[in-house]
Each structure stands twice: as C-alpha cells, then as structure tokens.
Amino acid sequence: MKKVRMFFWVPLILILIAAVLWYGPARPPASGGISRLERVNLSGVQQWISIRGADPSAPILLFLHGGPGSANIAKLRQQVPELERHFVVVNWDQRGAGKSGSIGFDYSTLSTGQMLSDAHELVKTLKTRFGVEKIYLMGFSWGSVLGLKLAELYPQDFYAYIAVSQVVNPIEGEKLSLEYVQTTAQREGNTQAIAELAGIEPSYQGVGWYQQVMTERKWLLQFGGVYHTSNSYLHEIWMLIRSHEYSLAEVALWPGRSSASLKQMWPEVMKVDFFKNTPELQVPVYFFAGRFDKNVPAQLTDLYYQQLVDPAGKHLVWFENSSHDLFYDEPARLVNELIKIERELPR
C-alpha cells in the first residue's frame, strides 16, 4: 500500500514543483535588469504588459502584436531575446486577447479607435514611468495598423516607427494572397487545395467569410506564405505552452479569445487604406518586409513606401529569406537591423 501511495504522490509532487518553476516569473535578462509582468489600466480596462531589459535605462521599445487577437507576450523574449540587451522591451496583450481577456468579455466593444486609445494611453504611461520624451514603436501585421496610425497621430512620441509586415490595403492584399495560393495549387497539381480554394471571394464580406479566411490561411501556410522555413504552427503553440507569462488556463483560452477578436475586428480592418488615408508621416519609419510574404503581400508595402511622403526619413529593408513572420524566419537579421536603427538615430 505504501509503495502504491508513493508511486502516486512522488510523480504528482514532481509535476507540481515543475509547474511552479515553469510558470514562475521569467528571470531578468541580466543582473540589475528589469523583468516585470503587470496589469495596467487602459481606458478603464485592466490589461497586461511585460517589461524586460538588461539595462533599465535603455531606450523603450513597445511591440504591438498581430491578429487582431494573436497575443503572445513571450514572443520576442523567446524568438529575439538579444533585443533585451539593447532595449527595454515592452509587450502588450491588447484588450480581449491573451492575458487581457476575461470570462464574459464583451468583444462587441472592440474597435480600431478603442485600440488606438488604449495604445496611446500605454505610450503616455511608459513615457511617464521611465521619464523619457520618446520611445521606439514596432508593429507587426495587424499591430502595424495601430502602429502606423499612432506614428501619424502622435509623431512627437516616437524616435522611430518600425513596421514589420506592414498592412497597407487589406482588400488588395487578400486578392493577391488568394491569387498566390490558387496559382500555387494549380502549379503543384494539388487537387484538394484547388477544390477547397475554388469559390472563395477575397473581400470576405459575405456569409461564411470566417471559414473562407481559415481555408485560405491553411493553404497559405502550406505554400510558404506565412513562414519561409516552416509550414506548421507547432512552434507558435510550443511558445505559448512554454511561456512563463501564461497559465495553462490562459493557453487553453487563447484560441477562443483570438478568434473572437478577429471576428469582431475583421470588417473594420478590411476598410483600411493607407494609400488613401495616410499619404504622409512626420516620424522616421522603417519598413521590414519579407520577400516571400503572401499573408500581407510585400509588394504593397514596397508600393506604399515609394509613394509615402516622410520628411523625417523613410527606409525599406528587405528580408530575403523571410515570409510573413520575420521573427521566426530571420531573427538575427531583425535584431541587427533594430540595433542599427537605435545607434544611428539621434536621441
């Protein structure tokens, strides 16, 4: 009987110890560094941020995640940890997503205007907290919609805006993305893909639009339009599971919160047209574009860059071995480019 009890309790105790160690706070990146995971009140709603850096006096870099709803507060810590040697990196789970979701959250309250208000309030909070006049801003995919608008509206807040896989005009982007997967399916003779992609209307406004988007994205992943070096999301799932910042319950709820955010925000996102509505910026801007990005087609970023008026300086940096997620495909190159920006810009 004692052996049976020991057989039951010893593994359980070891699992509990491992869980405590695994989901405990992430260690600072250096002695004397900063590593905080905390709630902030933004526009009356409690939301979560992480703050990490080897040197608390280093410049602030605020990261705006993709989606809408694809929060991963540990993404930069796991994929580009070297950034924390040069910046105080702030990750923010936007309202309704990741740790900033809650049971019973009303997703009908989500809007681009509300998210911009949250983001601007967070920028002001960071500037006050660290006693600085400006920070660096980096937006990825959906986060680049917020990022470009913040850079347009509040240029005085930022040393520079770094756009990673910049959204420019989703209506045109989705047409190009669908054309890519359909053409690839035909070239490869993939009859399943050809059948599933037939009849998709890339404005994604009608009944069943969400399932059509998911179908298109499935084949986009398979055909290299999301990652240039992978055709699976397994590494994304693993990042969430092994994150110190999320509980197991939050990992389990992550897909539902992401889906709810996307469904609510999608119709508004599809109306974005920076060609028409944001022809000029007054802050240094750096577009990081993956040569093989077909999720947010890079040719539109290139075209927007050429047309954009920016007296403060504009730059287009091509990542020749990347698709949509540069953090996964070329992490070292991304870090080096950000370090170069920080060193070259006057402060």
Each residue's pLDDT tens digit in the chain (347 positions)? 444 444 445 454 444 444 444 444 466 776 789 999 999 999 999 999 999 999 999 999 999 999 999 999 999 999 999 999 999 999 999 999 999 998 889 999 999 999 999 999 999 999 999 999 999 999 999 999 999 999 999 999 999 999 999 999 999 999 999 999 999 999 999 999 999 999 899 999 888 999 999 999 999 999 999 999 999 999 999 999 999 899 999 999 999 999 999 999 999 999 999 999 999 999 999 999 999 999 999 999 999 999 999 999 999 999 999 999 999 999 999 999 999 999 998 77
* Dihedral over alpha carbons 51, 53, 59, 60 (to 10 degrees): -20
The domain limits of the chain are 34-172+229-344
pLDDT of residue 264: 95
60-64 and 135-140 strand pairing: parallel
pLDDT of residue 31: 72
Q: Is there a cis peptide before residue 68, judged by omega within 30 degrees of 0?
A: yes
pLDDT of residue 3: 42
Per residue, what are the HEC states of the chain?
CHHHHHHHHHHHHHHHHHHHHHCCCCCCCCCCCEEEEEEEEECCEEEEEEEEECCCCCCEEEEECCCCCCCCCCHHHHHCHHHHHCCEEEEEECCCCHHHCCCCCCHHHCCHHHHHHHHHHHHHHHHHHHCCCCEEEEEECHHHHHHHHHHHHCHHHEEEEEEECCCCCHHHHHHHHHHHHHHHHHHHCCHHHHHHHCCCCCCCCCCCHHHHHHHHHHHHHHCCCCCCCCCCCHHHHHHHHCCCCCCHHHHHHHHHHHHHHHHHHHHHHCCCCHHHHCCECCCCEEEEEECCCCCCCHHHHHHHHHHCECCCCEEEEEECCCCCCHHHHCHHHHHHHHHHHHHHCCC
Write down how long the chain is.
347
Q: Homologous superfamily of 34-172+229-344 in CATH? A: Alpha/Beta hydrolase fold, catalytic domain (3.40.50.1820)
* Dihedral over alpha carbons 119, 140, 215, 206 (to 10 degrees): 40
CA separation, residue 168 to residues 26, 276, 345 (Å): 35, 10, 25
Give yes or no for a contact between 290 and 259, defined as CB atoms under 8 angstroms apart: no
Q: CB-side exposure of 137: number of CA atoms within 13 Å?
A: 31
